[in-house]
Amino acid sequence: MPPRRTPRRWFRRTPLRTPRRRVRRTIIAGALALSVTTAGASVWALDRFVVEHVEIADVSAYESEQAASTTTQESGAAVSADSDVTITTVTTGSGDDTVTYYVADIVLGDATALRSAFAQDSFGENITENTSDIAADNDAVFAINGDYYGFRDTGIVIRNGVVYRDEGAREGLAFYRDGTVEVYDETTTTAADLVADGVWNTLSFGPALLSDGEVVDGIDSVEVDTNVGYHSIQGDQPRTAVGVTDDGHVVFVVVDGRSPGYSKGVTLPELASIMQGLGCTTAYNIDGGGSSTMYYDGEVVNVPLGTGTERGTSDILYIAGS
């Protein structure tokens, strides 16, 4: 436990036998049809949400190729040593109302120091790896779980200045090369236009929590996805959020949850209030629940789901070590 800071009879007449057999055949036929349908649905669900679908098997090589053909592309790793990372643990409440969360206050030496990495260095659906393992693979000094892009096949996915997916569907978050961070409507633009405007990374989850320093209306009822395998993001949950106070000054928060007595988790309005209290003007909710993980200096900082056991995710945001 992390420290506090603080379920007739049978008639022999022939006329009665025939309909009984017909009914039985009908029932059997219906059961077979249901069985085939159920089996088909299971195969579909496995293929859609479990089986790995690799679109790019070597992301590092792919990004290097893209960088070689773009004169404006910069390597975040070259400037990340200038970034300042401060981790704070906060505990509020008591008993079953206790909430424990972790704050990473980061001043970036260069906006491109905040990079993204994919599980197994591969892009596609259902490819997962623990946040700490992705971080270690990329020599990260700090990392946070991303938006779990691989759970869905929609959204605009731009990572390290490279376009991976252009299927606008929801409210996204864009990190620009100049340090600006803003919420935008994916359905009104394209990935190519965003890159041309200087976007370095995008996240596609949501909802937005703060706009101009104020809590966004309606976040207590919004849902992100409605597809098979989806779980509501409402109620007390483990959470991960990103916010910005000034250009180049970002704040990441991970709230532990589902562990009464240690941390129950928070609602989206409560998460927005935390980000507001940290001085953020813009804040955005990303993948939470078992995915919520913060990594720093070779260790997982928080206690995922109160057990410390990480759940695999599809991507991280990170800052490389010097």
Domain residue extents for the chain: 11-51, 56-320
In three-state secondary structure terms, 217 is coil
Angle at alpha carbon of residue 77, lines to 111 and 105, rounded to 5°: 50
Q: What is the pLDDT of residue 46?
A: 67
Q: What is the pLDDT of residue 321?
A: 85
CA distance 138 to 120: 11
Q: Say if pTM beats, i.e. exceeds, 0.85.
A: no
CA distance 79 to 77: 6
Q: What is the pLDDT of residue 65?
A: 93
CA distance 152 to 271: 24
Peptide bond into 260 cis (omega under 30): no
CB atoms within 10 A of CB 169: 15
Q: What is the pLDDT of residue 234?
A: 78
In three-state secondary structure terms, 154 is coil
CA distance 183 to 180: 10
Tokens of 247: 């250009």
Tokens of 145: 């779980």
Q: Are 286 and 242 in contact (CB under 8 A)?
A: yes
Angle at alpha carbon of residue 315, lines to 104 and 275, rounded to 5°: 30
Residue 287 CA: distances (Å) to CA of 18, 40, 160 = 59, 29, 19
Which distant-in-sequence residues (6+ apart) come within 8 Å of 153 by Cβ?
125, 165, 167
pLDDT per residue over 242-289, tens digit each? Answer: 999 998 999 999 999 999 999 999 999 999 999 999 999 999 999 999
CA distance 119 to 301: 20
**Beta-sheet strands, E only, within the chain:** 53-56, 84-92, 99-107, 115-118, 123-125, 140-145, 155-159, 162-167, 171-176, 181-185, 199-204, 208-211, 214-215, 239-246, 249-255, 282-286, 294-296, 299-300, 315-320
For the chain, residues with pLDDT lower than 50 are 1-24, 26-27, 72-80, 227-230
CA distance 232 to 71: 43
DSSP class per residue in 241-252:
EEEEEETTEEEE
